[in-house]
Amino acid sequence: MSDKKISVVIVEDDAQIREGISALIKSANEFSLKGAFAECHSLLAALDNILPDVFLMDISMPGMTGIECAAKIKSIYPAVNIVMLTVYENDSQIFDSLRAGASGYILKNTPLEQILDAIKDVNAGGAPMTPSIAKRVLGFFNETGQKTIEYNLTLREKEILHELVNGLSYKKIAETLFISIDTVRSHIKNIYYKLHVSSKSGAVAKALKDRIF
């Protein structure tokens, strides 16, 4: 097993929260803190020098929102992982975060250990989401009454996409569906092609928006 630590950058304008999570990251052996910023412009200016494995990103910040910042980061580094850490359970902000490229969405009242679990999960390919957020997302799109759009996904591809929406990592999907990780990756490649997306968050957003299930 690799001893490489998961590097993290925090973007949060509330000093108390920023310092608290920073202390948490520093105290955990599996992680390293590469930076903590109070707003997005200074982060973007330093981005090339501090690019981490995972960003923890607040939504409401002065000058530029976390959603706008996430979109800018993903346009430059599409493979990077971003977890929105917020007080908001607003449906449109949840969906806008996914469209911007966020891989997860958790609330600030989430227990600290679960925040660490979310970082590990997203770094392993998962899409962590606070249960109450997941219910709101699924409920919102179920109530829209939109017609389901057909993307010609196979039954297995729909099963795998459903597990992505549930936040499972590739490894967990493989275990749940009793298939190999390589098979999961192959199916996900086909899913991306059929949905015309290039990322896990893009696939999740489209699955929810177009009511694929």
Question: Per the structure block, which two tokens stand in for 113?
Answer: 């250990």
| Residue 35 binned pLDDT confidence (cut-offs 50, 70, 90) | very high
- Mean pLDDT over 133-138 rounds to 64
| Residue 1 binned pLDDT confidence (cut-offs 50, 70, 90) | very low
Q: Which of 13-17, 33-37, 130-134, 199-203 has the lowest mean pLDDT?
A: 130-134
pLDDT greater than 70 at residue 141: no
- Mean pLDDT over 72-92 rounds to 84
For residue 120, give Cα distances in angstroms to 115, 125, 188, 209. Answer: 9, 9, 21, 27
- Mean pLDDT over 37-59 rounds to 94
pLDDT greater than 70 at residue 19: yes
Domains of the chain, earliest start first: 6-139 (3.40.50.2300), 145-209 (1.10.10.10)
pLDDT greater than 80 at residue 130: no
pLDDT greater than 70 at residue 3: no
| Residue 58 binned pLDDT confidence (cut-offs 50, 70, 90) | very high
pLDDT greater than 90 at residue 197: no
- Mean pLDDT over 106-119 rounds to 85
pLDDT greater than 80 at residue 44: yes
Among 89-93, 108-112, 128-132, the range with the most confident prediction by mean pLDDT is 108-112
Cα–Cα dist 125/146, whole Å: 29
Q: Which of 7-11, 138-142, 190-194 has the lowest mean pLDDT?
A: 138-142
Who contacts 152 (Cβ-Cβ below 8 Å, separation ≥6)?
194
Choose among 153, 150, 152, 191: nearest CA to 170.
191
Q: Which of 34-43, 99-108, 137-146, 162-171 has the lowest mean pLDDT?
A: 137-146
113-132: b (≥16 Cβ within 10 Å) or e: eebbebbbbbbebbbbbbee
The pTM for the full model equals 0.67
The distance of Cα 107 from the centroid of its chain, to the nearest Å, equals: 13
